Amino acid sequence: ETGVTQSPTHLIKTRGQQVTLRCSSQSGHNTVSWYQQALGQGPQFIFQYYREEENGRGNFPPRFSGLQFPNYSSELNVNALELDDSALYLCASSGVAYNEQFFGPGTRLTVL
Partner 1 sequence: SQQGEEDPQALSIQEGENATMNCSYKTSINNLQWYRQNSGRGLVHLILIRSNEREKHSGRLRVTLDTSKKSSSLLITASRAADTASYFCASDMVDYKLSFGAGTTVTVRA
CB 25 within 8 A of CB 34: no
Q: Is 9 helix (H, G, I), strand (E, B) or coil?
A: coil
- Shortest reach from residue 79's CB to partner 1, in Å: 23
Position 100 contacts partner 1 (CB under 8 A): yes
Closest residue by Cα to residue 35 from 86, 82, 98, 88 = 88
Cα distance between residue 106 and residue 27, in whole Å: 18
Quick note: the x/- pattern for partner 1 over 48-67, rule CB under 8 A, is x-x----xx-xx--------
Nearer to partner 1, 7 or 41 (CB): 41
- Shortest reach from residue 16's CB to partner 1, in Å: 26
Single out the segment in contact with partner 1 by CB under 8 A; choices: 10-18, 37-45, 68-76, 77-85.
37-45
CB 4 within 8 A of CB 26: yes
Cα distance between residue 110 and residue 45, in whole Å: 19
Interacting residues with partner 1 (CB under 8 A):
4, 31, 33, 35, 37, 39-45, 48, 50, 55-56, 58-59, 88, 90, 92, 94, 99-106, 108
